[in-house]
Amino acid sequence: MNVKAGFQSARQQVRFIREAWRIQRRHRMQTLETVMELKRKYEAPLTGHVRVWDLLARMAAVMDPSDTSLYGVNQQTHVLQVLEAMERDGVGEHDMLVAALVHDIGKLLLLEREEPENVTCMNAPIGEYSRGAGLDNCVLQWNHDEFAYSRLNGNVPDHIAWLIRYHSIDVDRCEPLMDERDREYATRYLRPFQKYDQGSKSAFRLPTKTLTDYRELIETLFPKPILY
């Protein structure tokens, strides 16, 4: 790369980071009303029954503008990165594979022109809650987690639905709010999952496999279309 192109790319990188920060700031400004409004907005199905395979194929068109670990890398590539990192470590349980495949399908809302601050970023609780209240009894900032949960709940085991719903929380920060079930799921599923979800992100290490390599697995894990 010549010097001029290198300079330009550095400038683009700075611009991307600044925009990501703006999105993160707007996400933190979500109020209880914003969350209720978004919940209502996405209560009804968007498109009817859809195959999970088709949703994952669409992820190739989705880019998270708030993610400064991925930059412009698309969300299908992110999913493949998570799967490869798990494979490298010999993680093969269906639970973890299911979570890796579908945890971010809620980001497809970016294709529906939803504002990025309502789709991406990490989630924190809004308001004060007593110790051990249980995450389901707290209101958290709204993003792709809650949307994906609303579509996948009932299609995956209860603990995986929980994992999808809370995969964007800071576990240490939310620990005081957790009840016994939350704590068990956080230790067994969320902490190990976040290691791969967050830890495998790279704008430079592209996965060697394609989504097609996982087609059989996807069709086995999700044989029926889901109401999306």
List of residues contacting Fe ion (CB under 5 A): 104, 197
224 touches 94 (CB < 8 A): no
Determine the Cα–Cα distance for residues 221 and 47; give it in Å rounded to an integer. 21
- For the record, the structure tokens of 154 come out as 């009932």
Q: How far is the CB of 64 from Fe ion (least distance, A)?
A: 8
Q: How far is the CB of 104 from Fe ion (least distance, A)?
A: 4
32 touches 127 (CB < 8 A): yes
Nearer to Fe ion by Cβ, of 133 and 159: the residue is 159
Q: How far is the CB of 108 from Fe ion (least distance, A)?
A: 12
Nearer to Fe ion by Cβ, of 84 and 104: the residue is 104
DSSP code for 227:
E
Determine the Cα–Cα distance for residues 71 and 65; give it in Å rounded to an integer. 7
Q: How far is the CB of 38 from Fe ion (least distance, A)?
A: 16
Nearer to Fe ion by Cβ, of 50 and 83: the residue is 83
Angle at the Cα of 194 (from 190 to 195), degrees rounded to 5?
Answer: 120
Nearer to Fe ion by Cβ, of 9 and 170: the residue is 170
